[in-house]
């Protein structure tokens, strides 16, 4: 496999917390680690807002 220092030790955590002022609205986020220009480590952050009943 290529780049074992980035992909060899995967870790994923899922957490859902109830926040009363948002009601049925939920927020999910994730970080994606990657190698960018000239091999520099970079990160993409994803923030997803949705209603629980749609999911």
Residue 35's contacts (CB-CB under 8 Å, 6 or more residues apart) are: 3, 6, 41, 42
Digit-by-digit pLDDT tens for the chain (55 residues) are 676 776 666 677 777 777 788 888 888 788 888 888 888 889 888 888 887 665 5
CA-nearest of 11, 23, 12, 34 to 49 is 23
pTM of the model: 0.51
**Residue 5 Cα to chain centre, angstroms:** 19
C-alpha 50/C-alpha 26 separation (Å) is 5
CA-nearest of 55, 53, 3, 48 to 27 is 48
């Amino acid at each position: 496999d290529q780049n074992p220092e980035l992909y060899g030790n995967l870790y994923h955590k899922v957490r859902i917390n109830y926040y009363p002022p948002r009601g049925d609205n939920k927020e999910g986020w994730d970080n994606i680690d990657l190698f960018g220009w000239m091999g520099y480590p970079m990160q993409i952050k994803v923030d997803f807002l949705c209603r629980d009943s749609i999911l």
